[in-house]
């Protein structure tokens, strides 16, 4: 069934389709409608889940951790400050190897208060061991939730599904709604190998000596490595079931492109419009959307970018004292393998629009600058 719904509700439908059993959340704009609808679904019995309206994001995620450890599928959603408050438990979920799915609606971090989008909240969770998938459309968002549970439960790592505040969260699009009955053959019930169970009692998370901690961390990275193929396979399997696949990265008109713009989230759609326009002008330009940020798709990015003459990375985020974060990541993915010049462009922080004009400006700078600036290129900042 197709419906015109906002991005936040696409998340809710994805959760509903995934037979989630425990949902715990705390309100924060612009995420709130996700859990409002879930709460309603639970109340109406459309979703057989326990909804826990906790007193903070920290408790939201710890409740998910507890429930997940008890062996059920769990979900929470948050944004910005809420995600930052969760940070301790973000790590805990990974160490405890719990396949929680969390949606973060990208929102700028205070102060000053801002409710508009940028990626610094989710990217500051980069090194925690969560998988991160950035969505571009409401359909993709709903579908990614379902995929995320399958991925998480396969590799026993939590997955963060990320979407832009307002540009996606509050934007209405047509979504082909997934029904739980359709999804069940694709996503069977969660059956963990170990869980909190009085019949087979184990203690989880005890103090580990240096003799064991190292190996436990090694295994997390092994799982992350394994997830590269899992993410791909799950997406392909999803496509077989539902006719829609999203890939790990999404190249657009890159086959013969001399110039490539690297984007993520909703900027990718805007970029594609600019690419079409410039192709009409005869410029050999393409765009690469990075959908899966963790694990970082080294090979896919290399395959596309190594053929280009110049690459621009557009970041709606910044690692102060360094560069845009996607820019860092892309550079490190190509390091030592190719000499393609790569430049980074910071745009749209705190929800400022990244319009076709902004993207065109970046593309023009990339093409025209003889020697592109290797550091930060600020786009649109009032200097």
The CA distances from residue 86 to 32, 109, 117, 147, 325, in Å, are: 16, 14, 19, 23, 21
Among 45, 55, 282, 371, binds another protein (CB under 8 A): 55
Q: How far is the CB of 372 from another protein (least distance, A)?
A: 44
Comparison of 84 and 334: residue with beta carbon closer to another protein: 84
Q: How far is the CB of 56 from another protein (least distance, A)?
A: 6
CA distance 6 to 8: 5
For another protein (CB under 8 A), the number of binding residues is 53
The tokens describing 20, both together, are: 């989630």
Among 96, 115, 283, 367, binds another protein (CB under 8 A): 96
Q: Comparing C-alpha atoms, which of 103, 110, 112, 76 is closest to residue 165?
A: 103
- Contact region for another protein (CB under 8 A) — 88-96, 180-188, 276-284, 314-322? 88-96
Q: Which residues 128-167 are close enough to bind another protein by CB under 8 A?
A: 156
Q: Which residues 20-49 are close enough to bind another protein by CB under 8 A?
A: 21-22, 24, 49
CA distance 81 to 26: 11
**Which class for 201: exposed (0-12), middle (13-18), buried (19 or more C-beta within 10 A)?**
exposed
Q: Which residues 218-237 are close enough to bind another protein by CB under 8 A?
A: 218-219, 222-223
Among 194, 299, 364, 378, binds another protein (CB under 8 A): 194
- Contact region for another protein (CB under 8 A) — 216-224, 314-322, 347-355, 367-375? 216-224
The CA distances from residue 321 to 312, 325, 348, in Å, are: 20, 11, 18
Q: Give CA torsion, residues 189, 195, 196, 198, to 10 deg.
A: 90
Instruction: Tell me if 2 contacts another protein by CB under 8 A.
Output: no
2 beta partners: 176
Among 41, 64, 148, 168, binds another protein (CB under 8 A): 64
Q: How far is the CB of 296 from another protein (least distance, A)?
A: 22
CA distance 365 to 125: 31
Among 8, 18, 32, 68, binds another protein (CB under 8 A): 68
| Footprint on this chain of another protein (rule: CB under 8 A) | 21-22, 24, 49-50, 52-56, 58-60, 62-72, 74, 88-89, 92, 95-97, 156, 194, 196-198, 201-209, 211-212, 215-216, 218-219, 222-223
């Amino acid at each position: 069934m197709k419906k015109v719904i906002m991005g936040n509700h696409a998340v809710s439908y994805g959760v509903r389709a995934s037979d989630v059993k425990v949902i715990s959340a705390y309100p924060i704009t612009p995420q709130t409608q996700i859990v409002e609808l879930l709460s309603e679904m639970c109340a109406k019995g459309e979703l057989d889940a326990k909804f826990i309206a906790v007193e903070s994001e920290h408790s939201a995620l710890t409740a998910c951790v507890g429930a997940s450890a008890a062996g059920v599928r769990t979900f929470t959603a948050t944004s910005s400050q809420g995600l930052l408050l969760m940070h301790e438990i973000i790590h805990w979920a990974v160490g405890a190897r719990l396949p929680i799915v969390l949606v973060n609606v990208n929102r700028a971090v205070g102060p000053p208060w801002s409710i508009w989008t940028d990626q610094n909240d989710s990217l500051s969770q980069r090194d925690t061991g969560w998988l991160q998938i950035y969505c571009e459309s409401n359909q993709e968002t709903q579908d990614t939730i379902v995929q995320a549970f399958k991925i998480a439960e396969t590799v026993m790592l939590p997955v963060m599904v990320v979407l832009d505040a307002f540009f996606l969260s509050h934007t209405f699009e047509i979504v082909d709604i997934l029904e739980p009955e359709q999804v069940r053959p694709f996503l069977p019930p969660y059956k963990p190998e170990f869980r909190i169970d009085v019949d087979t009692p184990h203690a989880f998370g005890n103090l580990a000596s240096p003799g064991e901690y190292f190996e436990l961390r090694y295994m997390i990275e092994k799982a992350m490595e394994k997830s590269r193929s899992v993410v791909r396979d799950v997406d392909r399997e999803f496509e077989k079931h539902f006719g829609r696949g999203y890939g790990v990265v999404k190249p657009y008109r890159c086959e013969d492109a001399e110039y490539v713009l690297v984007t993520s989230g909703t900027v990718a759609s805007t970029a594609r419009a600019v690419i079409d326009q410039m192709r009409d002008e005869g410029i050999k330009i393409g765009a690469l959307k990075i959908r899966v940020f963790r694990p970082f798709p080294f090979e896919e990015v290399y395959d596309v970018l190594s053929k280009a003459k110049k690459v621009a990375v557009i970041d709606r985020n910044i690692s102060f004292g360094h560069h845009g974060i996607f820019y860092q990541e892309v550079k490190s993915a190509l390091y030592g393998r190719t000499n393609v010049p790569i430049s980074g462009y910071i745009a749209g922080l705190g929800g400022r629009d990244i319009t076709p004009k902004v993207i065109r400006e970046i593309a023009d700078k990339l093409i025209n600058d003889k020697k592109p600036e290797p550091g930060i290129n600020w786009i649109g900042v009032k200097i």
